[in-house]
Amino acid sequence: MDIALDVVEGQPRATPLSLVTTLEEYRKPLLPSPRRKSADIRLVARHADVYEPCDDSFALVDALLADRANICELQPSVCLEVGCGSGYVVASLALMLSDRRNIRFIATDISKSAVETTRSTLAAHNLHADVLVADLVSGIESSIAGAVDVLVFNPPYVPTADDEVGVGGIASAWAGGDRGRVVIDRMLEVVDSILSSKGWFYLVTVTANNPGEICQIMRRKGFASRIVIQRSTEEESLHVLKFWRDGTNESSDPQSNGPLVSPSGRASFLQRSLSHRLSCLVSFKSV
């Protein structure tokens, strides 16, 4: 197996179309025919305490796919997923970059079961990554300082009481405290130190998190931002935001730069967002 790439050649599989149903709607016409590559949902491991790939996970992978050509151009050396859960996202990222050589993939999660599940998912796809149980990047922060070229995080973003954050079990996968921002805001504090000078950060948010304010916080830290994917379902409005250091390029094609998020986020999605998470859990339970 090809360790350098952390991917075995010839191994990538196409995702069944039905699983990326919404991709087509959001794909920009300016991308001629990107290769569709993501983890095979049938090979994604499961565990009762681990977040199963859901709308947000698919939105994040679709955002990465939509930005794949740019990511390739960036020539990343280190890709990190924080909060890897089932491993669906990091496995997809590794697969979509499988023709790039010498990329190192790292994945962390605060849940031991999640990291074990990610390990199985990676193995099922014949992929290798450094996986560890960590609070965000605890234990690796100093060694990855200034080194991460692609950082992705689908955080626990559902507004809850603050004391529900990080209590363990499946609740840690979604409980985000006040406005769903407790874990997100902690993450925002470490981005600057771990991201490389050319690095990009992809973050999933819902409207209740006030993505506009998140962008403003990041702007004060010297980061520009755009929405890669915005997806409104009946239940919630998801955004995948992308951040890069102001003054660096974030795209080989300037046309693809979308607008900054407007600072006036509405909080009315709180209920919807919650019910969305619950519906994911319910559908999971019935599997």
Partner 1 sequence: MRLLTHNMLACNIKGVTNGFPLGIDATRVETKEVEMNPDFLKHIFPKLRWEAFRAAAHSLGIDNLPEQVDSNMLLDEEFLQQFHHALLEVHLEEGALICPETGRRFPVSKGIPNMLLNEDEV
Binding site for partner 1 (CB under 8 A): 1-5, 77, 101-102, 104, 106, 110, 112, 115-116, 119, 130-135, 138-144
177 binds ligand SAM per the rule CB under 6 A: no
Going residue by residue from 36 to 75, which x/- string records binding to ligand SAM, judged by CB under 6 A? Answer: ---------------x-x--xx--x---------------
CA dist 145 → 80, 140, 183, 187, 237 (Å): 12, 8, 20, 14, 33
- Taking alpha carbons only, the member of 154, 130, 123 closest to residue 229 is 154
121 binds ligand SAM per the rule CB under 6 A: no
Burial 251-281 (b: 16+ CB within 10 A, else e): beeeebeeebbeeebeeebbebbbebbeebb
Binding-site residue total for ligand SAM (CB under 6 A)?
27
- Taking CB under 6 A as the criterion, the residue among 12, 55, 80, 88 binding ligand SAM is 88
Give the number of other CB atoms < 10 A from CB of residue 186.
14
Here the tokens at position 207 are: 């409207």
CB of 108 to partner 1, least distance (A): 8
Give whichever of 85 and 211 is closer to partner 1, judged by the CB atom: 85
Give whichever of 135 and 246 is closer to partner 1, judged by the CB atom: 135
89 binds ligand SAM per the rule CB under 6 A: yes
Give the number of other CB atoms < 10 A from CB of residue 138.
12
Tell me the sheet residues that pair with 78. 104
User: Binding segment for ligand SAM among 64-72, 172-180, 233-241, 252-260 (CB under 6 A)?
Assistant: 172-180
Here the tokens at position 254 are: 């300037």
CA angle 133, 194, 78 (to 5 degrees): 75
Going residue by residue from 122 to 161, which x/- string records binding to ligand SAM, judged by CB under 6 A? Answer: -------------xx-----------------xxx-----
Task: Name the residue type at position 64.
Answer: L
Give whichever of 144 and 150 is closer to partner 1, judged by the CB atom: 144
Give whichever of 173 and 194 is closer to ligand SAM, judged by the CB atom: 173
CB of 224 to ligand SAM, least distance (A): 24
Burial 199-213 (b: 16+ CB within 10 A, else e): bbbbbbbbbbbbbbb
CA 124 centroid distance within chain = 20
Give whichever of 122 and 183 is closer to ligand SAM, judged by the CB atom: 183
Which residues are near ligand SAM by CB under 6 A? 51, 53, 56-57, 60, 82-86, 88-89, 108-111, 114, 135-136, 154-156, 166, 172-174, 183
